[in-house]
Amino acid sequence: MNNKNIRNIAIIAHVDHGKTTIVDELLKQSHVFRENEQIQERVMDSNDLEKERGITILSKNTSVMYNDIKINIVDTPGHADFGGEVERVLKTVDGVLLLVDAFEGTMPQTREVLKKSLALNLKPIVVINKIDRPGSNPAKVVDEVLELFIELDANDEQLDFPVVYASAKQGIAKLKMSDPDGNMDCLFKTIVENINAPECDEDGPMQMLVSNIDYDDYVGRIAVGRLERGSLRTGMQVAICKKDGKTANGKIAKLYTHIGLEKKEVEEAKAGDIIEFAGISDINIGETICDPEHVEKIDFVDIDEPTVTMTFSVNNGPFAGREGEFVTSRHIRDRLFKELERNVSLRVNETSTPDSFEVAGRRRITFICINRNNEKRRI
């Protein structure tokens, strides 16, 4: 696919402003699902803890087709506690949908993620959601958004943002409040017309920054990112620029692109698309893969430092060992260091005591990392 037919966007919003619901509607109205297929609500919140709490924690990728344009959508966390997920995926997109509740208006966490987006010179589209909510005031909220943009030193082009009014729950969107209710077609058009196609060199030597890591029981670690230059093919030999400055060699075993909610295996991918590949067992977030004859590292985005530090150790209380399977320090250590492979905003240090670990995270993220074990326990 020519990169002129690709749009890469991220959706950012405060918690519960309807971000995941609007992704659901974009997927439905782009005919991702079969007519006889049962559609699950909040399809992008696939993690158990996300379903339990009703929020997005982990960044995920999907895509929709609008005519002959492929729109890659990155659904990012809307809570400041999971900001480490947001910061790195902004490097893979060219624009953002800023979703704001028509009743609540701009909120503190909207501000923080928007600030990062504007600093990266991403083109914004403002979506005023929940216009059907009693007491909503879309006109006032648009003024609040404009004031926030000015306060965050947005440039002239960013200040001239398009506005779409929507009710994701009802599956409608329109350019003016006086327009009749319709479907999401005007939002699709606004994305295609206002977000630039990725500025990537399709003919240059291959280069890609790894912005996320997934795992599959059959193929192992899967690297996720946007192909910045050239093309990538199955079986291709690549150079890996490590974060410590060293260079290693690897080979692409499997290559995937996103079609709706599914990963489709392909033989070749072109610059500009958000892709996934397997075959390099020790690949990590922030590393660059490139042509072995043109080794060039891509700078990784700065990640906010942890704000809370706690010490975790084996339970030595009177109820120790009464329930659960993982009761030793080795299990704690393995789980923490496994989480480090995917969570760039987490820090884990071993202490002088072999059964204790110092864990630093972004507020609640520390607890999420410990709790997501095979027993799905919460502490």
Between CA 374 and CA 284 the distance in angstroms is 23
Q: Is residue 377 part of a domain?
A: no
pLDDT at 71: 92
* Same domain assignment for residues 40 and 167: yes
Between CA 173 and CA 167 the distance in angstroms is 6
Could you tell me the pTM of the whole model? 0.76
Interacting residues of 216 by C-beta distance below 8 A, sequence separation 6+: 222, 278
Residue with tokens 């942890």: 306
Interval 295-335: pLDDT, tens: 999 887 666 667 678 887 777 777 666 666 666 778 878 88
Helix axes 138-151, 108-119, angle to 10 degrees: 50
Query: What is the sign of the dihedral through the CA atoms of 8, 14, 20 and 25?
Result: negative
Q: Which domain holds residue 219?
A: 207-290
pLDDT at 243: 82
Q: Please tell me whether residue 350 adopts helix, strand or coil conformation.
A: strand
* Same domain assignment for residues 122 and 237: no
* Same domain assignment for residues 237 and 176: no
Last residue of a domain, one of 165, 194, 223: 194
Between CA 313 and CA 355 the distance in angstroms is 6
* Same domain assignment for residues 52 and 179: yes
Interacting residues of 161 by C-beta distance below 8 A, sequence separation 6+: 98, 124, 125, 126, 145, 149
| Alpha-carbon separation of residue 290 from 165, 231, 249, 287 (angstroms) | 42, 10, 10, 10
Residues of the chain below pLDDT 70: 1-2, 32-60, 77-87, 301-305, 307, 319-327, 341-345, 362-379
Q: Is residue 361 part of a domain?
A: yes
pLDDT at 86: 66
Q: Please tell me whether residue 28 adopts helix, strand or coil conformation.
A: helix
* Same domain assignment for residues 37 and 143: yes
Number of domains in the chain: 3
Rounded to 5 degrees, what are φ and ψ at 81? -65, -25
Q: Is residue 55 part of a domain?
A: yes
Q: Which run of H or E residues covers position 66?
A: strand 60-66
* Same domain assignment for residues 72 and 184: yes
pLDDT at 59: 43
Amino acid at 156: D
pLDDT at 38: 44
* Same domain assignment for residues 185 and 264: no
Q: Is residue 200 part of a domain?
A: no
